[in-house]
Chain A
């Protein structure tokens, strides 16, 4: 009797648990999986005449992602322009990841080694940019680096340069903007990893004849690697699809995947191509996440 009611209570608990999570499940299904399915389906259709799609199965969009057919003689070749865009996006994302890592590691180290009280303040300062709209932050960067901006004015006033340095609307401008936008995403996981790091291990390293460089490379970096991987993924994934920053700071000269996809849904009027490009972007992200998952078990062993 006692056991029966116990089981009944457990069943009831399980059922109410499902009921409680139902809104979240519905939202996840409709809000995340739904659009994804639409994009996947659209990528296998023909483009509509003005926009939208025709409900006719076609592999044309997928074909166009990497290959192109010469309109005159019908020969098939690699779509160099598309590949260049992918390559540029990947390069920029990797570069952004590298720069944020190099800047983020000392920053996170600095914060993690502050006394507990001021640490909260530093973390708060790091998260402040999240409170402002991305577009506004990007325009703020523009104000700093444009020819008549803060940086050039200051350099001119100091007499270090005679003519303003053209930074805006260049690859450098995009990199600066991306680094600024994504730096917090690198610093926070790095901080979490360094915060858990046992600083006594540094002394153990020194004691066992490791120089400063060896302690960094052989003790610190391997142990905080989960944080490095997490931060890199968090920066690499969104920067690969970045749209606003390259558009505003790059001046539309150097197209990134994000801008290229937007073009297909807008002026390009080729929704299926936009959809298939989106799927390719997603694929790259999934591969990056798989790399993360493969390194993650090491973190578990550390705890």
Chain B
């Protein structure tokens, strides 16, 4: 059989409702998560990522297919018999219990001896740096602190897999950045497999070992952040992750003839006919109009972002292209609107997608 995965979904289908009202939340999803991996399910709301998470946690049972944990089929097991813990989006801390009792709840329910619970709770409080808050009630803490309690509570029973359901979405930007680092640190320190659900592509790119991009109940692409960003499997993934220019053209020999008449070299995998090229804005160079291979374009607008400037161009047929140029000292790159320039695409950066 080879490697046993920490988590595996085998052809999981989840349908809510029946007949004409039926909604397919999971559409034949198969995915594996390795031990100790930080795996992120990424997608817009309603794409099925949370449903998949809830199937792993045991709050939902797949309509068909199986969920495996360390190679064992747990599809029919109730949540309280799965060595899996969840960090809820709303934290779901018990309001009637102190921080320490919240963190110890899982161990208490497992029937662990008091001394062991106290010892683990103290260790968890130290891990999330909340030692002085042990006796507080959850509502006496700030959002970020509650978040850390929720984390400690889920980590205390040493689950095989930690599930995180958009745990950072309720926090403000600064705190979110802080918690991203904190989460990554906790994952490395504990070595526990994390399955993280988010709709924030930046969060996914910065934290994950691998990402699964979902859309309408289907897994679109699974890969490392680099894979997903540099080699998106389809137009949807390319569009969802980062900004992308989409250019339509027709295959002509080893290159693609754009609507503007310009020829662009691309790594074609045997595609013919009409294709879509995806080019990231930061992988476009602005050159002189007479440079070799330059595509003539006119600057139609620009937006200054501090570290870089987004230039908007129009090709000769009016196709819009956006390029991101790093700001240089003293505005030597400051190109005025209306100027004719040449654009060069880095060969390896041009991705060929379906039509």
Contact = CB atoms under 8 A, between A and B. Distances in A.
Interface of A: 198, 200-201, 203-211, 214, 218-219, 222-223, 298, 301-302
B157 A208 contact: yes
Given A200-B88, A200-B90, A301-B137, A207 B95 contact: no
A301 to B, nearest CB: 6
A299 to B, nearest CB: 10
Contacts of B95: 198, 201, 223, 302
> Chain A binding site: helix, strand, loop or mixed by DSSP?
helix
B174 interface: no
B94 interface: yes
A214 B109 contact: yes
A203 B92 contact: yes
Given A198-B92, A201-B94, A203-B92, A208 B57 contact: no
Contacts of B157: 208-209
B79 A203 contact: yes
B86 interface: yes
Interface string B125-153: 00000000000010100000000000001
Given A203-B59, A203-B79, A203-B88, A208 B153 contact: yes
A216 to B, nearest CB: 13
A51 to B, nearest CB: 54
Contacts of B93: 204
Contacts of A209: 80-81, 106, 109-110, 157
Contacts of A298: 96
Contacts of B105: 205, 208, 210, 218
A210 to B, nearest CB: 4
B58 interface: yes
A214 B78 CA distance: 14
A207 B85 contact: yes
Contact of B85 (A208, A214, A302): A208
B104 to A, nearest CB: 10
Given A205-B94, A218-B109, A223-B95, 13 more contacts: A198-B90, A201-B92, A203-B79, A204-B94, A206-B58, A207-B80, A207-B154, A208-B157, A209-B109, A210-B109, A214-B109, A223-B94, A298-B96
Contacts of B86: 203-204, 207
Which of the four size classes fits the interface of chain B? 20 to 34
Contacts of B94: 201, 204-205, 219, 223
A301 B137 CA distance: 9
Contact of A207 (B57, B90, B110): B57
A208 B58 CA distance: 12
Contacts of A204: 86, 88, 92-94
Interface string B71-110: 0000000111100111010101111100000000110011
Contact of A222 (B78, B81, B96): B96
Contacts of A206: 58-59, 78-80
Nearest to A210: B109
A138 B95 CA distance: 42
